[in-house]
């Protein structure tokens, strides 16, 4: 998929009104907005890149119709001017066509395709029926309100997308590519792996790369949600979306434009709106049954009284039937509910939280337990070497340990590597990662091990008993089958970790920490954060078992992690949350929710956003069903006019849309 920040197609699919919203990033320069319904198109003829002003201008025929109707009503009711029936018919017919020509045309096309039960046919039949019995003004009013409702929907969707579309602005359209010693501006899609690019101060990095310059400082806000400077040295990774802060730097590209970490995050957002929540799916199915039932009820209200009522007047009962038709379109539900979920996804994006589907907004509200990894999730994951105890020359010991650990992305491994002199590192061979234990490999023809006590036991290497008493993280080394020494590494909790745990407990959630680290270290961290339960010395499969135990006890479990080893347990949890937009690709791929920065309180924010969204969605369901039911009963009894029907349909739809619209302004 080729991405460009300027191009967005909005797909919108359901049996009546909106039920599926999805941002699609395309490579052409055409901007379209298509609402694809089941069996028909619902085109609004505007671009999401248009301003609200140009969108309003594009509906000039609607405003013309509104002006005609308002002028007519003002002259008739305000100044007592009399209009002949023919004059009224001509004026209202012009207004009707200006407001509803698209709807009538779509209705005719759908009837030709044997699709009778849809909003366009219902609105067309009801409004033409009003013209048939001489209620011209009411017929036009129904169509006007319906089209204004559609316009409000488009405006609301436009605003809802702003926070998500802002993500698209972080990737430049041009990149300076080195060709024959000179830098030439090219499209990022043309750059290949291995090419050298230049980024000037204040410019955005277009592709994932390795820094060639000695050093540079980057702003990582696009990936982490925070404008925090990140210092990089030659050879370190720089990701697409980062901004060079202080100087011109050269980078060597490591991934294609479409495969960059930022592109993957954007793809997640794109796919998120295509996954419907159970409430959406129910409303979608409900609309397909509800619409034809009310259609036939309207037909029955019009025709059946002929056999039972002595003074049957066709026009009177046709009017009641039309009231039923207008009310029958479930637009208030099928527009506002997906818009509510979309608003939730937008609010989450604004807060640096990416939900991969509307369904997960629902699931987070039902959570009863949050299980968290320790390193990188609750603790900073920035380990530093505190002490070295070696049986051989210390420099040689560090050289061997750091050389082997250089192939690992684990924070502990990075601490060892950063402590060592990088110039002295040797290239390891035959490296194997033993999950939950450490690494083995060959360095300078020596068999080298680096890991925990379990690794040493697995290779039958005797270690001093005193090592087991050290509470901090320890990297034990062995060379050629003999114990060679150990390195003590220290980590500390994140600043907001304790507050995040406290907030979770206030929400009634069970808090659990799982870690492959020593139980002594894990318990020490758990006590400082006031966690309910904590387990240490766990292998990845042990974490899976612990989560399964909670699920077996009836808990709805979220697991939060950031490492490659967390992918299996994230997949098992009811909701998998990946911490850190720069975390492991496998973890981010498996997760249901991605928190772009590394702040634990965002876990609480994600749950609160889910609750806000659910609350607004159910407010809209209750509002729409209550008002419609009242007017349906009143309409059948002849107590409701088309004006009340318009309010019950379009008016409630507008109220529901505006209510869903509120989600964007919420603070969490």
Of 201, 177, 199, 178, residue with least CA distance to 189: 177
DSSP annotation string for 246-273:
SS-EEEEE-S-GGGSHHHHHHHHHHHHT
Q: Does residue 184 form part of some domain?
A: no
CA distance 460 to 478: 11
Sheet strand arrangement including 243-244 = 229-233, 215-219, 243-244
Highest average pLDDT, of 18-27, 233-242, 323-332, comes from: 233-242
Q: Does residue 530 form part of some domain?
A: no
Catalytically active residues are 373
Task: Indicate if the pLDDT at residue 114 is higher than 50.
Answer: yes
Range of the structural domain that residue 404 is part of = 384-490
Q: What is the pLDDT of residues 381-414, one digit of tens each?
A: 777 898 999 999 999 999 999 999 999 878 788 8
Q: Does residue 77 form part of some domain?
A: no
CA distance 169 to 204: 10
Least confident of 274-283, 371-380, 394-403: 274-283
Total of domains in the chain: 2
Max CA pair span of the chain = 111
H/E stretch holding 280:
helix 278-303
Query: What is residue 271's predicted lDDT score, i.e. its pLDDT?
Result: 64
Phi and psi (nearest 5°) for 144? Answer: -60, -50
Of 160, 143, 598, residue with least CA distance to 336: 160
CA distance 342 to 335: 11
Task: Indicate if the pLDDT at residue 654 is higher than 90.
Answer: no
Q: Does residue 148 form part of some domain?
A: no
Q: CATH number of the domain that 225 lies in?
A: 2.70.150.10
Highest average pLDDT, of 151-165, 273-287, 422-436, comes from: 422-436
Q: Name the one residue in this structure whose structure tokens are 């087991």.
A: 468
Point out which residues pair with 210 in neighbouring strands.
237, 252
Task: Indicate if the pLDDT at residue 276 is higher than 70.
Answer: no
Q: CATH number of the domain that 426 lies in?
A: 3.40.1110.10
Query: What is residue 125's predicted lDDT score, i.e. its pLDDT?
Result: 86
* Residue 174 CA: distances (Å) to CA of 262, 264, 404, 631: 16, 19, 39, 57
Q: Does residue 503 form part of some domain?
A: no
Q: Average pLDDT in the 497-524 region?
A: 92
Point out which residues pair with 572 in neighbouring strands.
none
Q: Where is pLDDT greater, at 650 or 216? A: 216
Query: What is residue 17's predicted lDDT score, i.e. its pLDDT?
Result: 40
Query: What is residue 532's predicted lDDT score, i.e. its pLDDT?
Result: 96
Q: Average pLDDT in the 616-625 region?
A: 90
DSSP class of 189: G
Phi and psi (nearest 5°) for 35? Answer: -105, 105
* Residues 273, 344 contacting (CB under 8 angstroms): no
Q: Average pLDDT in the 650-660 region?
A: 82
Q: What is the pLDDT of residues 293-313, one digit of tens each?
A: 878 888 999 999 999 888 899
Q: What is the pLDDT of residues 63-76, one digit of tens each?
A: 999 999 999 999 99
Q: Average pLDDT in the 436-449 region?
A: 93
Task: Indicate if the pLDDT at residue 153 is higher than 90.
Answer: no
Question: Three-state SS for 324?
Answer: helix
Task: Indicate if the pLDDT at residue 322 is higher than 90.
Answer: no
Query: What is residue 298's predicted lDDT score, i.e. its pLDDT?
Result: 86
Among residues 206, 223, 255, which one ends one of the domains? Answer: 255
Q: Does residue 389 form part of some domain?
A: yes
Q: Does residue 458 form part of some domain?
A: yes
Average per-residue pLDDT for the chain: 82
Q: Where is pLDDT greater, at 22 or 394? A: 394
Among residues 230, 255, 280, which one ends one of the domains? Answer: 255
Phi and psi (nearest 5°) for 310? Answer: -70, -45
Query: What is residue 13's predicted lDDT score, i.e. its pLDDT?
Result: 38
Among residues 255, 272, 295, which one ends one of the domains? Answer: 255
Q: Does residue 399 form part of some domain?
A: yes
Highest average pLDDT, of 107-111, 236-240, 417-421, 605-609, comes from: 605-609
Q: Rounded to an integer, what is the distance from CA 87 to the centroid of its chain? A: 53
Residues listed for the chain:
668
Query: What is residue 9's predicted lDDT score, i.e. its pLDDT?
Result: 35
Question: Three-state SS for 5?
Answer: coil
Q: How many helices (H) and strands (E) does the chain have?
A: 23, 26
Q: What is the pLDDT of residues 82-110, one digit of tens each?
A: 999 999 999 999 999 999 998 899 889 98
Give the HSE-up count for residue 487: Cα atoms under 13 Å, Cβ half-sphere.
27
Q: Name the one residue in this structure whose structure tokens are 């008739």.
A: 76
């Amino acid at each position: 998929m080729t991405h460009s920040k300027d191009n967005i197609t909005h797909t919108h699919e359901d049996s009546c009104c909106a039920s599926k919203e999805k941002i699609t990033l395309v490579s052409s320069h055409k901007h379209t907005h298509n609402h694809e319904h089941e069996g028909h198109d619902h085109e609004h003829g505007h671009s999401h890149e248009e301003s609200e002003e140009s969108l309003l201008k594009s509906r000039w025929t609607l405003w013309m119709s509104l002006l005609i109707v308002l002028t007519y009503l003002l002259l008739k009711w305000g100044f007592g001017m009399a209009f002949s029936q023919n004059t009224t018919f001509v004026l209202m017919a012009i207004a009707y066509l200006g407001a509803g020509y698209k709807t009538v045309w779509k209705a005719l096309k759908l009837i030709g395709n044997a699709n009778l039960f849809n909003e366009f046919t219902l609105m067309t039949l009801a409004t033409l029926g009003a013209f048939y019995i001489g209620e011209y003004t009411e017929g036009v009013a129904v169509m006007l309100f319906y089209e204004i409702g559609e316009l409000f929907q488009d405006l609301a969707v436009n605003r809802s997308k702003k926070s998500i579309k802002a993500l698209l602005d972080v990737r430049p359209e041009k990149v300076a590519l080195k060709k024959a010693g000179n830098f030439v501006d090219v499209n990022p899609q043309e750059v290949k792996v291995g090419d050298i690019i230049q980024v000037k101060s204040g410019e955005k990095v277009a592709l994932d790369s390795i820094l060639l310059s000695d050093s540079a400082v980057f702003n990582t806000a696009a990936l982490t949600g925070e404008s925090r400077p990140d210092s990089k040295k030659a050879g370190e990774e720089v990701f697409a979306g980062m901004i060079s802060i202080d100087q011109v730097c050269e980078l060597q590209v490591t991934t294609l434009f479409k495969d960059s970490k930022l592109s993957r995050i954007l793809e997640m957002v794109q796919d998120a709106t295509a996954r419907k929540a159970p409430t959406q799916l129910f409303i979608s199915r409900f609309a397909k049954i509800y619409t034809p039932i009310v259609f036939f009820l309207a037909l029955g209200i019009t025709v059946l009284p002929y056999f039972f009522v002595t003074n049957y007047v066709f026009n009177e009962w046709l009017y009641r039937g039309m009231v039923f038709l207008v009310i029958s379109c479930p637009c208030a539900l099928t527009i506002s509910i997906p818009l509510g979920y979309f608003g939730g996804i937008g609010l989450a994006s604004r807060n640096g939280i990416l939900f991969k589907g509307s369904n997960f907004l629902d699931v987070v509200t039902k959570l009863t337990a949050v299980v968290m990894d320790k390193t990188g999730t609750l603790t900073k994951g920035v380990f530093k070497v505190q002490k070295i105890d070696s049986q051989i020359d210390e420099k040689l010991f560090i050289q061997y340990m750091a050389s082997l650990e250089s192939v690992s992305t684990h924070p502990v491994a990075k601490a060892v590597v950063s402590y060592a002199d990088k110039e002295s590192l040797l290239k390891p061979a035959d490296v194997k990662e033993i999950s939950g234990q450490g690494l083995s490999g060959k360095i300078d023809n020596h068999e080298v091990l680096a890991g925990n006590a379990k690794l040493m036991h697995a290779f039958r290497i005797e270690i001093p008993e005193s090592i087991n008493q050290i509470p901090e993280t320890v990297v034990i080394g062995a060379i050629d089958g003999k114990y060679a020494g150990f390195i003590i590494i220290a980590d500390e909790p994140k600043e907001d970790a304790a507050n995040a745990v406290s907030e979770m407990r206030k929400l009634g959630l069970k808090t659990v920490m799982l870690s492959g680290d020593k139980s002594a270290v894990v318990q020490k961290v758990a006590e400082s954060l006031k966690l309910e339960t904590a387990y240490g010395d766990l292998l990845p499969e042990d974490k899976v078992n612990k989560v399964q135990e909670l699920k077996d006890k009836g808990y709805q479990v979220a697991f939060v992690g950031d490492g490659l080893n967390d992918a299996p347990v994230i997949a098992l949890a009811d909701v998998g949350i990946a911490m850190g937009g720069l975390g492991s690709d496998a973890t981010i791929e498996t997760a249901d929710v991605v928190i772009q920065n590394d702040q634990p309180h965002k876990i609480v924010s994600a749950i609160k956003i889910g609750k806000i969204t659910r609350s607004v969605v159910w407010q809209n369901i209750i509002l729409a069903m209550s008002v419609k039911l009242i007017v349906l009963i009143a309409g059948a009894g002849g107590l409701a006019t088309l004006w009340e029907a318009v309010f019950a349909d379009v008016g409630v739809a507008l109220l529901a849309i505006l209510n869903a619209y509120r989600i964007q302004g919420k603070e969490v």
